[in-house]
């Protein structure tokens, strides 16, 4: 027997495979052209911004670009003793140019991030520089301020030499790279981010749990009630979904504030004393309540769509075969709803982990999340690279959750409705 399989030819004598490819090529091009606009749109609005964010978060060429000659001269400096004359000269030339272009302020800010005290000595240098002679820059600069004679400050400049830095990521974890190049934690009173990360995870987790606990019975009811009632209930679920997020958050503020309706009610039924009304807003409680309510439909809908497909005869079969109602539920109904649970939990968790407006409005100081911090750096400090770094960490977190979910349940089991 020969190992070669006989090539099948068409009636024209062309190999079948070739002519099949030829015939399909046109369709493939057509199909590609059809999706091309969408692909382009995705690239522009999705892939490009994320790529840009990734780049920004590690991009550290600002200082390098401002002091090109200095870094060139520093290449030979070992960083142990004060740098040689060439470095001082190069720094003088670079800085002079920045002063002329009036962009030296940025340098001061950037170097001050690296080591405190740069701002003032750079300003002083700028003033004194006008009278500098064209020789011996090292001595002249060192004379401006004693910090210029401190090797630490020159090392700080050298540390900014690489084009890429993960300093923003360290900062987001309340860590930094010190002068020796070791990674260590910032002092205790300045650790703000780690608390926020943990709180974000905690809030997202509990909001997901609360949503699940509330949505499961609702979805079950929706799936089993007769049509006319289930439609009404569906509208009750969807109505908040169609209402503006701000309106819903604002109404929670009205409900939850200390002189609000819920507190009034508690006082009225005698649950709490009038002068001892609990704070239910501007803390984590407010964030939990409002976010759970707002994200509830995202849990109800996937659960409902899965439950709708489960035939009621399965539960009956379970019972008729001898399973108690609980066993029938736990062994038959519940496992069949897992695709919906997975989809709902994933959706709610991902939305909750990046939630922004609601925590900002009802969260107060103890209820804000990492996304509020990202927004703060985008709008107030304009440290976009830091915001990008945190945004990417959030994105990574979501991808990790997705990966874990895929390992546990399998993504192809997800049913979003």
Partner 1 sequence: MSKNSQFVKFDKVDKSYDGKVLVVKDLNLDIAEGEFITMLGPSGSGKTTCLMMLAGFETPTNGEIYLDSNPISNIPPHKRGIGMVFQNYALFPHMTVYENLAFPLNVRKVPKDEIDKKVDKALSMVSLTGFENRMPGQLSGGQQQRVAVARALVFDPAVVLMDEPLGALDKNLRESMQYEIKHIHESIGVTVVYVTHDQGEALTMSNRIAVFNDGKVQQLSSPDKLYEEPVNSFVAEFIGENNTFQGEVSDISNGKCKVKLKEGEIVANPINVKSTGDKTTVSIRPERALINPSQKMDNNHKGKIEEVIYHGDHTRVRLNVLGNSEFILKVPNSSQNLDIKLGNIINISWDSADARALDPK
Residues that bind partner 1 (CB under 8 A): 311, 313-314, 316-325, 327-328, 331-332, 335-336
| Min separation Cβ 312 and partner 1, Å | 9
- The distance of Cα 309 from the centroid of its chain, to the nearest Å, equals 35
Task: Indicate the DSSP class of residue 117.
Answer: T
| Min separation Cβ 408 and partner 1, Å | 15
| Min separation Cβ 334 and partner 1, Å | 10
Neighbour tally for 66: CB within 10 Å = 21
C-alpha 224/C-alpha 98 separation (Å) is: 72
Dihedral of CA atoms 187, 192, 197, 203 in degrees, nearest 10, equals 130
C-alpha 151/C-alpha 138 separation (Å) is: 12
Q: By C-beta, is 258 or 324 nearer to partner 1?
A: 324
Q: By C-beta, is 10 or 309 nearer to partner 1?
A: 309
Q: By C-beta, is 79 or 325 nearer to partner 1?
A: 325
| Min separation Cβ 345 and partner 1, Å | 19
CA angle 371, 375, 378 (to 5 degrees): 140
| Min separation Cβ 310 and partner 1, Å | 9
Q: By C-beta, is 29 or 321 nearer to partner 1?
A: 321
> Which residues, 6+ apart, have CB-to-CB distance to 323 below 8 Å?
331, 332
The packing angle between helices 193-224 and 370-379, to 10°, is 120
Length of the chain: 417
Helix (H, G, I), strand (E, B) or coil at 310: coil
Q: By C-beta, is 294 or 328 nearer to partner 1?
A: 328
C-alpha 118/C-alpha 63 separation (Å) is: 13
Q: By C-beta, is 203 or 328 nearer to partner 1?
A: 328
| Min separation Cβ 335 and partner 1, Å | 5
| Min separation Cβ 346 and partner 1, Å | 20
Q: By C-beta, is 240 or 323 nearer to partner 1?
A: 323
Q: By C-beta, is 272 or 336 nearer to partner 1?
A: 336
Q: By C-beta, is 297 or 318 nearer to partner 1?
A: 318
Lookup: tokens for 228? 């006319």
C-alpha 116/C-alpha 114 separation (Å) is: 7
| Min separation Cβ 234 and partner 1, Å | 24
C-alpha 72/C-alpha 76 separation (Å) is: 8
Q: By C-beta, is 318 or 342 nearer to partner 1?
A: 318
C-alpha 37/C-alpha 352 separation (Å) is: 31
> Which residues, 6+ apart, have CB-to-CB distance to 211 below 8 Å?
292, 295, 296, 298, 299, 344, 345, 348
What's the Cα-to-Cα distance from 160 to each of 5, 70, 226, rounded to whole Å?
Answer: 64, 11, 68
| Min separation Cβ 216 and partner 1, Å | 18
| Min separation Cβ 325 and partner 1, Å | 7
Beta partners for residue 9, in sequence order: 15
Give backbone dihedrals phi and psi of 93, rounded to 5 degrees, phi first: -65, -45
Lookup: tokens for 355? 């939630």
Q: Are strands 175-177 and 183-185 parallel, antiparallel or unpaired?
A: antiparallel
Beta partners for residue 59, in sequence order: 164
Q: By C-beta, is 61 or 331 nearer to partner 1?
A: 331
| Min separation Cβ 338 and partner 1, Å | 8
């Amino acid at each position: 027997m020969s190992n070669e399989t006989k090539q099948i030819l068409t009636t024209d004598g062309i190999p079948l495979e070739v002519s099949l490819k030829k015939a399909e090529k046109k369709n493939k091009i057509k199909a590609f052209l059809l999706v091309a606009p969408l692909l382009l749109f995705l690239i522009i609005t999705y892939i490009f911004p994320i790529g840009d964010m990734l780049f920004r978060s590690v991009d550290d060429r600002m200082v390098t670009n401002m002091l090109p000659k200095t870094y060139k001269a520093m290449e030979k400096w070992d960083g142990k003793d004060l740098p040689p004359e060439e470095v001082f000269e190069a720094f003088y030339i670079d800085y002079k140019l920045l002063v002329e272009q009036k962009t030296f302020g940025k340098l001061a800010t950037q170097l001050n991030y690296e080591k405190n005290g740069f701002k003032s000595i750079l300003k002083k240098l700028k003033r004194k520089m006008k009278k500098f002679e064209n020789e011996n820059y090292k001595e002249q600069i060192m004379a401006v301020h004693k910090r210029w004679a401190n090797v630490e400050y020159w090392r700080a400049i050298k540390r900014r030499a690489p084009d890429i830095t993960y300093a923003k990521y360290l900062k987001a974890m309340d860590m930094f790279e010190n002068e020796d190049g070791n990674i260590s934690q910032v002092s205790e009173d300045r650790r703000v981010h780690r608390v926020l990360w943990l709180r974000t995870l905690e809030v997202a987790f509990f909001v997901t749990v609360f949503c699940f606990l509330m949505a499961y019975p609702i979805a079950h009811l929706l799936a089993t009630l007769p049509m006319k009632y289930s439609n009404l209930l569906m509208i009750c679920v969807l109505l908040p979904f169609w209402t503006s997020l701000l309106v819903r958050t604002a109404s929670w503020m009205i409900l939850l504030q200390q002189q609000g309706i819920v507190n009034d009610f508690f006082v009225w039924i005698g649950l709490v004393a009038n002068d001892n009304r609990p704070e239910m807003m501007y803390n984590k409680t407010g964030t939990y309540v409002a976010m759970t309510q707002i994200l509830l439909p995202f849990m109800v809908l996937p659960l409902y769509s899965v439950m709708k497909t489960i035939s009621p005869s399965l539960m009956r079969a379970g019972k008729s075969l001898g399973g108690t109602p609980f066993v029938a539920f736990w062994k038959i109904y519940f496992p069949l709803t897992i695709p919906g649970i997975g989809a709902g939990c994933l959706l709610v968790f991902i939305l909750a982990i990046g939630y922004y407006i609601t925590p900002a409005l009802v969260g107060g100081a103890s209820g804000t999340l990492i996304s509020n911090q990202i927004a703060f750096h985008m709008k107030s400090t304009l440290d976009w690279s830091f915001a990008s770094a945190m945004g990417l960490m959030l994105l990574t977190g979501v991808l990790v959750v997705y990966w874990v979910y895929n390992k546990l349940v399998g993504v192809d089991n997800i049913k979003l409705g």
